[in-house]
Structure formats: structure tokens, C-alpha cells
Structure 1
């Protein structure tokens, strides 16, 4: 997730035939513009990744993705980055940490002990 000058810098450092995936913008002034000559110089491309929008209009997509992901989590191939765990009574604190950008990784709120 990049914006402003970081977006242009990200294009500059791509290898030949590289791809920049745009998943959002965390900084900068508005939505960056792509000068297409930068794409032509090294045969690179920019692709928007709207996973949520795609998932909402593709029946069964999220179930399929979860069915493929869960075995990888269970076997340890994929390890989601857990940042902090909160008791259910601390739910407000978890939301505050998210809102104030203190969270790193995934936050877990335990419903049961």
C-alpha cells in the first residue's frame, strides 16, 4: 500500500516484467497517476487487487479460498502474524488499538477462555 512518491519509486524498482499490485493507499496526496511510459520502459504492469469487491460478486469464492487456506494454517505452512490477544472484556481496547494504529499483525479477541 503506497501513495505519493512511494508509488512512483515502487514502479522504478520493479525488475523487467515485474508487477506492482495496488491494494490501497496508505500515504500521499490522493490517488497516484501512472505515466504509461514507465510501464513501457521495462515491460512492467500495475494491477489493482480488489479482493473484497471480487469476493462479494463471485458465489462460493470465499468458501473455496478458506478451504484451500485452512489446511495450510493447520500444517504451519502459513502462519498468520498475531500481534495481540484480548479477552472479550477488552474488546474496546482492541478497537482503540486498531483506530490509533498501534496494532501490528492480527488482533485476536477471545470469546471463550
Structure 2
């Protein structure tokens, strides 16, 4: 899915830290977007280049990780939370200006959004299984009709 969206490099879960180091000549990456957390968080943090940023998007891995701040000091890295729901709660008007910036990018094809995988209600257990075993990509939708 990442490659289809234009990613230069795609890193699989197994061995990802070694692959990142190999592709970057040991430097690391500038930004990691982490929607998983859990057991993957520490390797995400370790994969950062000096002054890199790890953006926490969620915890689909189940557990909420902790940050040992000495790791941040060693490379002047940072961890940032990006909670869409909380942002809207604090600044409801922000949705309008964000959409005003995003919509033209979608309309002109500069930015694309993957179509969701739709499951009929009779296959709801399969949809939950795809989430549980981490084989789901993108959004999953249950058709209630």
C-alpha cells in the first residue's frame, strides 16, 4: 500500500531497523509516523536520525508505550502526539481550514486516498480477524445493509 502511494522505500516489520539503517547509511530517518505503538515503538524511536521526529498517531498494537527520555537527549529527537479527535475538540473550526487545504489536493490527484475494504455484515468476524492479525491495510468498513 505504501509503495502504491509513492513511498521510495517500504520497510517490513521484521528487520525494519536494520533495513532503515542500511538505506540511510546508518543515519536514520527524519520522521516516523507510528499508528501502532506497542512493541514497534522502541524500534521506531531507534530508527530516527539526529533531530528526527516520531509522530504518535495511535496505539493499534494494544499497549501504550513509554518513552525513556534519555534516548531523546542522545540524538536531540522528539516524540509528538497527533490526535485528530482531540484537535477537533479543542479547535472545532480547524476542520474547515484543513479541509480547504486538502480538498484541492484530492480533487487534482496530487493526494489520493485508498478505497476502504468493504465487508458485508455476515463477514464481520473476518473483518475483526484482519484487524487482530494485522493483515488489514487502510480502512475497513462494514456494510450494514
Q: Which structure's CA Rg is the greater one?
A: 1
After TM superposition, the score normalised by the length of structure 1 is 0.74
How many Å apart are 1:55 and its aligned residue?
Answer: 1.1
**Superposed counterparts of 1:54-93, under 5 Å:** 54-84=87-117, 90=120, 92=121
Q: Would you say how many aligned residue pairs link Structure 1 and Structure 2?
A: 104
After TM superposition, the score normalised by the length of structure 2 is 0.59
How many Å apart are 1:64 and its aligned residue?
Answer: 1.3
**Superposed counterparts of 1:1-113, under 5 Å:** 1-27=35-61, 30-84=63-117, 90=120, 92=121, 96=124, 98-100=127-129, 101=131, 103-106=136-139
Structure 2 gaps, min length 5 = 1-34
1:28-47 deviations in Å (ceiling 9; x for gaps): 5x321111110011100001
**Which SS does the other structure have where 2:49 is aligned?**
coil
Instruction: Return the structure number with greater relative CO, CA threshold 8 A, min gap 6.
Output: 1
CA gap of 1:22–1:35, structure 2 versus 1, over 3 A, is same
**Which SS does the other structure have where 1:82 is aligned?**
coil
CA gap of 1:19–1:74, structure 2 versus 1, over 3 A, is same
1:4-38 deviations in Å (ceiling 9; x for gaps): 3311111111001000011111225x321111110
Provide the aligned C-alpha RMSD in A: 2.6
